[in-house]
Structure 1
């Protein structure tokens, strides 16, 4: 399986995560559509956060740390808010839609 993004087929793992990060907006649109997500400004904000975390730490946060870190940026965020945006699991699905590799392990950072 792979995604066709800007005329190139990008490799994925068995669960549809890119093997190498792609920071293009087109990657987000293609992956979100494949997951049945209609993107809103709120999605883009979370995607930006996940991409920043990946660039800074080399991986994305687990859900607990994602909720804590993101709620420092946007007041009033709780787990329901994030699950409404990414119903298959905010930490994993947001990373996938952001065009990032699959989060490793259960713990994250």
Structure 2
């Protein structure tokens, strides 16, 4: 499978994950999100950049939902952020759908917590 962004073909696997993490850009993220019916807001971008930073700068770490919730509570200085808040952003699983939009490989984790 592939994705067309600004006249460039970006290769993806059968689940929509990028074949090469180096092909990612914010425009690619927007294209993937649009395909999944998600309009990216500032909060989406915060989570996407957090996931990318964890993967790229923390030994390919792919945080689970509980860890994402804690990180976004701190980022947004809002203790009311919970799993529902995060799933409202990425309904098909923040670590998996968020990771796909962030251009990361598919997470092998089974669930949110």
Match of 1:9 in 2: 9
1:1-51 deviations in whole A, cap 9, x for unaligned? 111123222221221111221341111110001111011111111111111
Structure 1: stretches of 5+ with no match in the other structure: none
Map residues 32-43 of structure 1 onto 2, 5 A cutoff: 32-43=33-44
Match of 2:64 in 1: 62
Runs of 4 or more, structure 1, over 6 Å off, are none
Map residues 73-84 of structure 1 onto 2, 5 A cutoff: 73-74=75-76, 75=78, 76-84=80-88
> Contact 1:47–1:95 at 8 Å: present in 2 too?
yes
> Contact 2:17–2:106 at 8 Å: present in 1 too?
yes
Structure 2: stretches of 5+ with no match in the other structure: none
CA RMSD of aligned residues (A): 1.8
